[in-house]
Structure formats: structure tokens, C-alpha cells
Amino acid sequence: MEQFRLPKIEMPHLPLPQSVQAVLAEAETRLAHRPKLLQLFKNCFPNTLETTTKLLNDGTTFVITGDIPAMWLRDSVEQVMHYVPFAKDDADLQRIIGGLIKLHMRNIVIDPYANAFNEMANDWHWNTDDKTDMSPWVWERKFELDSICFSMRLAFAYWKETGRADIFDADFKIAMRAAVDLWKREQHHFERSPYRFERDNGIMTDSLMNDGIGMPVNYTGMVWSGFRPSDDACDFHYNIPDNMFAVVTLRQMREIAEFVFRDLSFEQEMAKLEREINHGIQLYGIYRHPEFGPIYAYETDGFGNYCLMDDAGTPGLISIPYLGYVDGDDPIYQNTRRFALSKENPFYYEGTAAKGIGSPHTPPGYIWHMALSMQGLTAKTDEEKLAMIAVLEATDADTGFMHEGFHSDDPTVFTRKWFAWSNSLFSQLVYKAMKAGLLDA
């Protein structure tokens, strides 16, 4: 087994688009009375553009995740989502975001099972000995249901914000077709799927059990996923937040099929798939908890086994309204939220510095900044939003940036000092609070 040795990462420093500069100028005025929060926002809001984004000569855009020289479909979308609301009248942002969408579609066509890609066909891989069907374009081939969902989420949001349909080219429809074929196949993973993944590095969560095919599942109508949004293997392979995301994505793709491509047959095919997945969520994805009542499980196998937890990554249970599956008032979501933010969630931690959701991806006791940002973004009250911003502001370890996980007793002990997704999600929360006037006083 040989793990790839990370090369030195050098990304060009893009000039900031005018709309991004305008946001930073607005913050200078509105956050002047909170100098530390202002500096955090000034660091984090442009971080994706300043450190992770490269415009390629073919009109596409490559966005690395930060400290790894590869582009995750999921991460790169969330790294730029906070720029989408400013793209309508900004040609530079349109070039950046539109180019990223086009590259995503090209990558999905290359390998719809892959989660992370190289800038070119250089045969770089996270692990050179993974037992799976690799391509020289693919950095890592962990099948995570949410990956393609994020790509489509960005395209739909960009279209709705700008009205621009130039992203919907032949590659886009081919990618949609590849996604639907993949998801229909993975409704019957053991019967129809060619996908296998094993990694012999001694870390169980990096590899699928059962000779790379995964643990047994029953048919539910939901889509099988090998790995979670954390890149860790699923315990039970129907991840409920992922399948909720797929339902929302199919609704968006149906609209594109109907109103852009004028393909009603494809739209009806996706409507059927959406109904099947949603039926599975409602029938198999709800657990009757003795304390909290009916809650959404994190994972199930369709045989009556459940994984009851929440993970800091998106999609997770806390992020269900953020994804658009239900709104924050949904009673089962409210029950689920109370569960996720309690010690009944095995990855919820309380320390002397903070309390919040962590992940099995990081050591016990580590809270993720992304989880705190998402808790704020999905909070129903202004008080909770402001409380999350205060905790985020206090736990940056005076680095001026957000991180992955930090120790709940000591924020100076943290993982990933350069993690652009975390910076972007924090920026999204602060900007929304600023525009709502919550940070004026």
C-alpha cells in the first residue's frame, strides 16, 4: 500500500470580483464595532477565491478543497455557494461559478462514482493501491450519494439567481442521465452494481466491508451509498440525509429537464425515482425514539437496524432544512434536532470552551466549526444564531480562520488550519445575520 505524497500546493491569487469587494466594504461599516468578527469575515469570505480557485484555459474552473490538491464535488460547491447571490450582475463571478459547474458535469461523465478529481489526467490518487476501477482523472473514488447532488444544487441555484442557461449544454444533460442511471442502479446495489472499494491502510472507515461490496441491505427504494459526507464508510448503507438530498435534487433536475431541455419523458422518469426514494425515507428512515419521539435516523439497512447519530458534515440531520427537504418547523425535524444536540448523539460534545457536534472522522471531544455554522444557519431564533456566531468567533484559536475540528476544552488544538469549506459556511452565516440586522448592536 502506498499513499500519495502531497505536493506543494500553489494556486493563483485571483483578483476579487467587484461584488465580493462590495460585500467586504459593507462589512467594514456594519461590523466596525466588532473588530475580531470583522477580521474573521474579511479573511473567510474571500478565502475560496484567494487561495483555492484556478481558472482553466478551457473556460472551466478548478477549486481545491484547501490543504489537498484535489477538487471534491461536495466541498467545491459549498466553497462557492455564498457567492451565488452576487452573481447576477457580476461577469467575473459568472465566469468562476459557471466554469465550476461545467467542470463538475465533465467529471461526472468521466466517473459518476468518484467523489474527488484531479485538475488533469495526471494519475494522482489519495491512495495508489485502492481496489476499485480508477481513472487518471480521479483523485478518490469513494461513492458518496451527496457528491452529484451538490453539483446539481449549485447549477440550479446559479440558474435561478442569474437566469443564465448557458451551463445547460450537452455535457450537462449527459451528466443528468448518468446520475439518474447510477441512482436507479444503486437502489439495487447487490443485484446490479459493479462498484467495489477497498483500501488496505488499517483504517476500517476507509474501506467497505464484505470484499468491498458493503454490508447487506434490503430493498427500500432509497439509494445505496458507500461512504458518508465525511468520506468515512457507512455503517448501514442507506444514509437518510443523503437520500433526502437526492429527493430535493431530483425535484430541481426535473425542473431543468422540463423547462430547459423540454424532455418530459426524462422528467417523468425522475419523478418516479423521487417518489420511490421519498417513500423509502418515510417508511424506513424514521425511528421512534423513547425520549424524543419520531426522529430521522442517520442510516439504516432496511432490515430494521439503525445508526442513531449526527455528523458535522453536510448533509447531516441538522442540515435537513438547509438542503430544502423540509423546513425548520417540521415536527420530526424538530425532534431530530433536539436529539442531535443532546448527549444521546454519540458525536455531540460539551467542553469548557464549546458544545456542539463533531464526527467519527476526528478524535473524540472535537467539535466542528461547520456544525456550529450549520446550527446557526438552521436556527429558528435570533438568539441561537447569535450564540453560534459568538462561539465561532471565540474558537478560531486566534488564527483568523475556521478549522475542521477543535477540542471542546481547548480551541488551540484543532485539525486542518486551511479548510475553505468551513470558512465559506461561516461567512454565509455571518453575512445573513449582518443583512438581517442581527449584528448591528
Q: Which among 421, 432, 425 is positioned nearest to 48, based on CA atoms?
A: 421
Q: What is the mean pLDDT of residues 326-332?
A: 97
Q: Are residues 317 and 351 in the same domain?
A: no
Q: Per-residue confidence at 155, pLDDT binned at 50, 70, 90? A: very high
Whether residue 69 lies inside any domain: the answer is yes
Answer whether residue 2 shows pLDDT above 50. no
Q: Which among 325, 314, 322 is positioned nearest to 281, based on CA atoms?
A: 325
Whether residue 10 lies inside any domain: the answer is no
What is d(CA 269, CA 272) in angstroms, rounded to the nearest whole number? 5
Q: What is the mean pLDDT of the chain?
A: 96
Q: Which residues contact 254 (CB under 8 A, 6 or more apart)?
A: 267, 270, 271, 274
Whether residue 408 lies inside any domain: the answer is yes
Answer whether residue 8 shows pLDDT above 70. no
Start-to-end CA span in the chain (Å):
56
DSSP assignment string, 240-271: HHHHHHHHHHHHHHHHHHHHTS--HHHHHHHH
Answer whether residue 415 shows pLDDT above 60. yes
CATH of the domain at 258: 1.50.10.10
Whether residue 54 lies inside any domain: the answer is no
Strands 299-300 and 238-239: antiparallel
Q: Are residues 260 and 327 in the same domain?
A: yes
DSSP assignment string, 218-231: ---SSPP-SB-TTS
Q: Are residues 29 and 116 in the same domain?
A: no
Whether residue 200 lies inside any domain: the answer is yes
Answer whether residue 10 shows pLDDT above 70. no
- The residue among 323, 346, 369 that closes a domain is 346
State residue 14's pLDDT score: 84
Q: Are residues 226 and 330 in the same domain?
A: yes
Distances (CA, A) of 302 to 81, 154, 250: 34, 31, 22
- 183-237, pLDDT tens digit by residue? 999 999 999 999 999 999 888 999 999 999 999 999 999 999 999 999 999 999 9
State residue 169's pLDDT score: 96
Answer whether residue 402 shows pLDDT above 90. yes
Q: Are residues 73 and 145 in the same domain?
A: yes
Whether residue 253 lies inside any domain: the answer is yes
Q: Are residues 294 and 364 in the same domain?
A: no
Answer whether residue 253 shows pLDDT above 50. yes
Which structural domain range is residue 198 located in? 63-346
- The residue among 346, 364, 379 that closes a domain is 346
Number of Cβ within 10 Å of residue 333's Cβ equals: 21
Q: Are residues 281 and 371 in the same domain?
A: no
Q: Are residues 175 and 257 in the same domain?
A: yes
State residue 430's pLDDT score: 98
Q: Are residues 40 and 146 in the same domain?
A: no
Answer whether residue 58 shows pLDDT above 90. yes
**Per the omega criterion (within 30 degrees of 0), is the bond before 315 cis?**
yes
Q: Per-residue confidence at 12, pLDDT binned at 50, 70, 90? A: confident
What is d(CA 417, CA 134) in angstroms, rounded to the nearest whole number? 30
Q: Are residues 363 and 334 in the same domain?
A: no
Answer whether residue 13 shows pLDDT above 90. no
Q: What is the mean pLDDT of residues 297-321?
A: 98
Q: Which among 72, 19, 64 is positioned nearest to 46, based on CA atoms?
A: 19
Whether residue 50 lies inside any domain: the answer is no
Long-range contacts of residues 265-271, Cβ cutoff 8 Å, at least 24 apart: 266/176, 266/177, 266/180, 269/180, 270/180
Q: Are residues 180 and 157 in the same domain?
A: yes
Answer whether residue 3 shows pLDDT above 60. no
- The residue among 310, 331, 346 that closes a domain is 346
Q: Are residues 375 and 227 in the same domain?
A: no
Q: Which residues contact 35 (CB under 8 A, 6 or more apart)?
A: none
| The total number of structural domains that make up the chain | 2
Number of Cβ within 10 Å of residue 12's Cβ equals: 10
- 341-374, pLDDT tens digit by residue? 999 999 999 999 999 999 999 999 999 999 999 9
State residue 441's pLDDT score: 75
Whether residue 396 lies inside any domain: the answer is yes
